[in-house]
Structure 1
Amino acid sequence: MRDSDVHINRVDWLVVVIYFALVIIGWFNIYAAVYDSQAPQSMFDMSINSGQQLVRIGISVVLIILIMVADYRFFENLSLFIYLFFIALLVITPFIGKEVNGQVLSIGFGSFRIQPGEFAKLATALALAKVMERPTFDLTKTKDQLIAFGVLLLPVALILLQPDTGTAMVYFSLLLMFYREGFPQRYYILGFGFIALTLLSLGIENNLYLAGGIIAIVLFLIFLGKKSWQKTIVFSLIGVGLIAYSYSIDYVVSKLPTHQQNRIMVLFNPNLDPLGVGWNVTQSKIAIGSGGLFGKGYLEGTQTKFDFVPEQHTDFIFCTMGEEFGWTGSFVIISLFVTLLIRLVIMAERQKNRFSRVYGYAVISILLFHFMINIAMTVGLFPVVGIPLPFFSYGGSSLWAFTILLFIFVKLDSSRTQQLGRFK
Structure 2
Amino acid sequence: MPGNKKRKVAVQATTGRAKRRIAQPARYRSTSEPQPREARIEIEGQRRTEKDDGAPRFREEQRDDGQSMREEERIEVDRRARGGETSIQFETGAGRHGTTVGQVPEADTRSRLDSRQDTSTGLAALTAEANRLLKNSMASQTWNTYKTAEKRLEKFRLQFNLSPLWPVPLEHLIHFIAYLSLEQLSPSTVRTYISGLSNWHRLNGYGDPTKHFVISKLLEGFSRGNTRLDVRSPITLPVLEKIVAALSHVCSSQFETELFATAFKLAFFAFLRVGEITSATRGDISNRAVGVHDVSLIFRLGEHLPYRVKLLIRKSKNDQRGNGYLLYLERFKNENICPVLGVYKYLQSRNKTGSPQLLTHYNGVSVTRYQFNSILKRTLQFINSNGQCYKSHSFRIGAATEAAARGVPEETIKLWGRWRSGAYKRYIRFST
TM-score band by shorter chain is: under 0.3
1 or 2, which has the higher strand percentage? Answer: 2
By relative contact order (CA 8 Å, sep 6+), the higher-ranking structure is 1
1 or 2, which has the higher helix percentage? Answer: 1
